Amino acid sequence: MSQFSVLLQKEWRENVRNYKIFWIPVVFILFGIMEPVINYFLPQILDSVGGLPEGAVLEIPTPTPEQILVAVTGQYQFIGMLALILAYMGTVAGERKSGTATLLYVRPLSFSAYFLSKWLMASLIALLSLWLGLLAAYYYTLLLFDTVNFADFLRFAATYSVWVVLIVSIVLAASAALPNAGMAAAVSLGSVLLMQLVDGLIGAYWSVSPLKIPVYAASWLNGRIDLVDFWISIGLVAVVIALLLIAGIWASRLNASKAKV
């Protein structure tokens, strides 16, 4: 346990020194603010961009505040995921390449403490960023549109958090299993996008799937949620995350010998 806390402190220091603790929240907050603002000013933006003939009347229905929040997670689905993947692609692979790993691997290291400390720190930072971003989005939606039931918002954010933890687990497992950071990023981005594509195309045929977590998060706001399906999906995600963690620990032990000296 003491090894775990030492490694956790190392991760914390690393995340502060390479500024990840600052810029990941900044990305989430920026996109959280921009979505409601852009939606609010959409008529003016269309007006000033021009291209419409004189006297054209455009009726854009005002989106509901719930739709805005869902649109924010729509942004996070791509840009947020990209930020997380870029930030954490090198967590294990980069350490092997830079030689930091040799400093650790020559010691009697518990690989589960090693991998789990990385996972915990990455997840905490990702969740902090997500919550700050969503709260910013909530505040701006409140200012510009209307109130959203705060309890619903909390359920929505909590459900989406599960998805973010899943993404972090995928990136870290890929980083442990693959030889370099670039490949880890490519594989995790590819798998996340492919999963979303598959679910988008034929997802209508099943209602229980780890891929449906963002959809479930959104349905807390619409008020249409099937609780049984929801909890089964959450359980499935927990199993998948546990499997990814075991695979990550196993892969980081297996690849320890590939560390560059």
Partner 1 sequence: MDQPTLLLLLLPVILIQLGLMIFTLVDLMRNPKPNGPKWMWGLVIVLVNIIGPILYLVIGRRNY
Residues that bind partner 1 (CB under 8 A): 18-19, 22-23, 26-27, 29-30, 33-34, 37, 41, 83, 86-87, 90, 94, 97-100, 140, 143-144
Sequence-distant (≥ 6) Cβ neighbours of residue 218 within 8 angstroms: 70, 73, 156
Nearer to partner 1, 96 or 212 (CB): 96
Nearer to partner 1, 187 or 221 (CB): 187
Helix (H, G, I), strand (E, B) or coil at 131: helix
Nearer to partner 1, 79 or 232 (CB): 79
- Tell the smallest beta-carbon distance from residue 156 to partner 1 (Å): 23
Query: What is the C-alpha to C-alpha distance for residues 1 and 7, in angstroms, rounded to an integer?
Result: 10
- Tell the smallest beta-carbon distance from residue 19 to partner 1 (Å): 6
Nearer to partner 1, 40 or 114 (CB): 40
Nearer to partner 1, 81 or 249 (CB): 81
Query: What is the C-alpha to C-alpha distance for residues 29 and 79, in angstroms, rounded to an integer?
Result: 12
The values of phi and psi at residue 146, to 5°, are -155, 175
Which tokens hold the place of 21? 């603790």
- Tell the smallest beta-carbon distance from residue 259 to partner 1 (Å): 13
Query: What is the C-alpha to C-alpha distance for residues 145 and 36, in angstroms, rounded to an integer?
Result: 8
Query: What is the C-alpha to C-alpha distance for residues 11 and 18, in angstroms, rounded to an integer?
Result: 11
- Tell the smallest beta-carbon distance from residue 40 to partner 1 (Å): 8
- Tell the smallest beta-carbon distance from residue 57 to partner 1 (Å): 20
